[in-house]
Amino acid sequence: MSEPGRPLWSGRFSKPPAREAAALGRSLDFDVRLAPQDVRVSIAHVLGLRDAGLLAPEEAEALERALLAVGEEIADGRFAFDPADEDVHSAIERGVTRRLGDLGAKLHAGRSRNDLVVTDLRLWLLEAWSGLEDELVRLIRSLLAHAREHAETVMPGTTHGLAAQPVTLGHHLLAHAWALVRDLDRFRGWAGRTSVSALGAGALATSTLALEPAAAARRLGFEDRFANSIDAVSDRDFAQEFLADAAILGTHLSRLAADLLRWSDEARGWVDLDEAYATGSSMMPHKRNPDVAELVRAKAGRLAGHVVALSSTLHGLPLGYHRDLQEDKEPLFDCVDTLRAVLPALAGCVETARFRPAPMRRAAGDPALYATDLAEALVLAGLPFREAHRRVGGLVARLETEGRSLADLSRAEWEELGLPEGAALLDPDGAVRRRGVAGGPSPASVLGQIEALERLLATRGGGDRGP
Ligand code: ARG
């Protein structure tokens, strides 16, 4: 039975671990977050022991009650942790044993912390994801709402950050929405792959007891049970994949934030970010700084760091449990905490943003944005594109030296270019409508894209299949 002040495994040891060794190995401070999952997984295990005839029904009930009570004590902060508790699994087992004596000592039959921890963590992560999924969907929906309102709002599209061709604001916002929907899809696929119970895998080789891993998986709401006990306790690809998906999501959120920041600067004034998502300056009384978007932009680095950290830990690690694997948790917890902070803040920032069509339209009036349309009009008139490109390019260069623009061409000059009706092409609304192809910037395409995105949001994927 467990003695206070000594680890659960102290039987074959003649002395306790050195203080600094115990301090290095202790994961309780962070893995205590797994307590609710550890209680549920332990109860599933107790029921498995009962079904195997290894616990009498009354014993199983007493163990279940004790597990629930310990779980409540931990949740309320009343639980008396022992300094020798290495991790949440040891602490809970010790708590049960403290309550039940000899009966508590039966709990760990046929299981190991190796299958326990990975089952707990899969459950925890799937539950964390379902909350994050709602926030991600909220953000995407707010982009769709703005896009619908601004399906016809023209703005300059840029390449290299410089004026390129006219687009609609709706189209640009949906570019962000498509990327985020792919993230959603990635996570939903991840959830399906992660919904696999490891309980019954034991330390690495299952057990000689008549435990039924499929029944445990069903009890816990997993879609499947492990197929190979060594794989079940050794791999952390579900954690690595979650971090990778989060890192990609982080870059997408960062790029959305970067666009909002660029558009909200004083030079453009294309969007007003709500005061509730800004902060003031401690020195300059006039400032209203867009800190929320800046922090979202910056958090991508942290999320990318976590996938690198765990990948480096797993790299070259032979199969079978190694204590190295304990390092999977902190990156995951911080990743989830970061997304929990970032997603609602950015969703709120986007929801309350007010786009300003007038300055966008003024900027879309830059005649240079229509140079490509002129070249394409010459192609329609029969010129090879390279020749049309050269002709318009030469004209733009000459006008620049004359301090003029395409908007200043006389009727005769349009005729000389070979486009008598060319002046009409310098119109932003016409330019976006001419690009009527699906996937393009036209208002009709924007509305079509919104419908397609709504359908994708409505089809729930692997995320639904998790526990
Ligand atoms: N705290 C450990 C972890 O997070 C639990 C598994 C410990 N297993 C072991 N064989 N030492 O990985």
What is the Cα–Cα distance from 25 to 243, expressed in whole angstroms? 23
Distance 23 CA to ligand 1 centre (A): 14
What pLDDT shows up at residue 2? 59
Residue that has been written with the tokens 């950050």 in this structure: 161
Angstrom distance (rounded) from CA 432 to CA 166:
7
8 Å CB contact between 226 and 198? yes
Q: Using CA atoms, how far apart are residues 49 and 67, in angstroms rounded to an integer?
A: 15
**Kind and range of the H or E run holding 285:** none
Q: What is the pLDDT of residue 138?
A: 97
What is the DSSP secondary structure assignment for residue 275, as one 8-state letter?
G
**Could you tell me the two tokens for 63?**
């163990």
The DSSP secondary-structure symbol of 247 reads H
Q: 311 an active-site residue?
A: no
* Nearest residue by C-alpha to atom 3 in ligand 1: 326
Q: Answer yes or no: is the C-beta of 113 below 6 A from any ligand 1 atom.
A: yes
Q: Is 220 within 8 Å of 40 (Cβ atoms)?
A: yes
Please tell me which residue in 160, 282, 286, 315 is annotated as part of the active site.
160
Which ligand 1 atom minimizes the distance to the CA of 87?
1
pTM as predicted:
0.94
> What's the gap between Cα 85 and its chain centre?
33
Q: What is the best residue among 323, 327, 329 to mutate for testing ligand 1's pocket, by most ligand atoms within 8 Å of CB?
A: 323
SS3 content of the chain, % helix, strand, coil (to 5): 65, 5, 30
Whether residue 324 contacts residue 315, with contact meaning beta carbons closer than 8 Å, is answered with: no
Residue recorded with tokens 């029904």: 57
* pLDDT, one tens digit for every residue, the chain (467 residues): 457 777 778 888 888 888 899 899 999 999 999 999 999 999 999 999 999 999 999 999 999 999 999 999 999 999 999 988 999 999 999 999 999 999 999 999 999 999 999 999 999 999 999 999 999 999 999 999 999 999 999 999 999 999 999 999 999 999 999 999 999 999 999 999 999 999 999 999 999 999 999 999 999 999 999 999 999 999 999 999 999 999 999 999 999 999 999 999 999 999 999 999 988 888 888 988 899 999 999 999 999 999 999 999 999 999 999 999 999 999 999 999 999 999 999 999 999 999 999 999 999 999 999 999 999 999 999 999 999 999 999 999 999 999 999 999 999 999 999 999 999 999 999 999 999 999 999 999 999 999 999 999 988 644 444 44
CA–CA dist 304, 401 (Å, integer): 47
Per DSSP, 282 falls in state S
Give the alpha-carbon dihedral of 234, 238, 242, 247, to 10 degrees: 50
Query: pLDDT at position 460, please?
Result: 61
What DSSP assignment string belongs to 372-430? HHHHHHHHHTT--HHHHHHHHHHHHHHHHHTT--GGG--HHHHHHHT-TTGGGG--HHH
Residue 160 a catalytic site member: yes
Q: What residue's CA is closest to ligand 1, atom 12?
A: 326
| Residue 323 CA to ligand 1 centre (angstroms) | 6
pLDDT of residue 465: 42
Q: How far apart, in whole angstroms, are the C-alpha atoms of residue 220 and residue 71?
A: 16
Q: Are strands 154-159 and 162-168 parallel, antiparallel or unpaired?
A: antiparallel
* Phi (first) and psi of residue 227, to 5 degrees: -100, -20
